[in-house]
């Protein structure tokens, strides 16, 4: 009997440079190699009906990516995980296979871990200034997309931004940012705010998406 499934997968290490389009192709090939049959679209040029959640920027890591499809063969969720993982390249790992509970359009926020490193020690005073900045009521930034450019309040687009030390030279920022389909906020704006408002400079920044939430900050499944 056909079964709708939602996979959670990691995209790390060398896989961070696989584009969103190529990830889709990769999953189709992996499903074929794993012998897992899925629902196809109708028409003259049928293709596997696979739907991904919020796209991930090139170079960013994630441990919470989501993809939906409908299995028309008889594998169990555990078999799907095991067989697909054997067919995946390095950096892609399936961690969960569940029946979808919500639609992708119900995603409200994503939690990010941002590690920003300076070319030298970062002081306690700098960390405290960042905490004060991100606990304020308003941080106006200029956001650019392919279609628009305008000012937005970073605080209104977030559900908490926390700052902590990561070794001698780096800070770790944990931020829940808007990931609504029509209003995705790139985490680079958090780092940009610290640079523009506080005059800070970072020579290396690492971004990792760690979880999706709905508008009520409940984990998206």
Percent of the chain at pLDDT > 90 equals 89
Q: Count of domains in the chain?
A: 2
What is the spatial distance between Cα 197 and Cα 194, in angstroms, rounded to a whole number? 5
Tell me whether residue 187 is in a domain. Answer: yes
pTM over 0.85: yes
At residue 148, the pLDDT reads 79
Q: What confidence tens digit (pLDDT) does each residue in 160-178 have?
A: 999 999 999 999 999 999 9
- Asked whether residue 46 falls in the same domain as residue 115, the answer is no
> 168 lies in which domain range?
107-214
Tell me whether residue 69 is in a domain. Answer: yes
CATH number, position 203: 3.30.70.3190
Tell me whether residue 188 is in a domain. Answer: yes
Three-state DSSP string of 65-99: EEEEEEECCCCCHHHHHHHHHHHCCCCEEEEEEEC
Tell me whether residue 221 is in a domain. Answer: no
Confirm if 66 and 5 have CB atoms less than 8 A apart: no
- Asked whether residue 59 falls in the same domain as residue 139, the answer is no
Pick from 74, 100, 126: which residue ends a domain? 100
What is residue 30's DSSP assignment?
A: H
Confirm if 25 and 18 have CB atoms less than 8 A apart: no
């Amino acid at each position: 009997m056909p079964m709708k499934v939602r996979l959670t997968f990691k995209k790390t290490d060398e896989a961070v440079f696989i584009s969103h389009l190529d990830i889709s192709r990769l999953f189709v090939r992996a499903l074929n190699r794993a012998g897992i049959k899925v629902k196809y679209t109708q028409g003259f040029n049928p293709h596997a009906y696979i739907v991904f959640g919020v796209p991930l920027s090139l170079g960013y890591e994630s441990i919470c990516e989501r993809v939906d499809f409908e299995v028309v063969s008889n594998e169990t969720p555990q078999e799907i995980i095991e067989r697909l993982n054997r067919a995946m390249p390095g950096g892609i790992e399936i961690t969960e296979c569940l029946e979808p509970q919500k639609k992708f359009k119900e995603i409200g926020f994503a939690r990010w871990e941002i590690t920003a490193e300076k070319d030298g020690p970062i002081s306690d005073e700098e960390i405290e200034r960042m905490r004060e900045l991100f606990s304020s009521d308003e941080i106006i930034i200029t956001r650019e997309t392919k279609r628009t450019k305008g000012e937005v309040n970073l605080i209104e687009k977030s559900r908490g931004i926390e700052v902590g030390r990561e070794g001698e030279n780096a800070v770790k920022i944990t931020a829940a940012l808007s990931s609504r389909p029509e209003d995705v906020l790139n985490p680079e704006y958090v780092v940009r705010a610290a640079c523009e408002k506080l005059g800070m400079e970072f020579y290396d920044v690492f971004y990792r998406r760690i979880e999706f939430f709905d508008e009520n900050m409940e984990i998206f499944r």
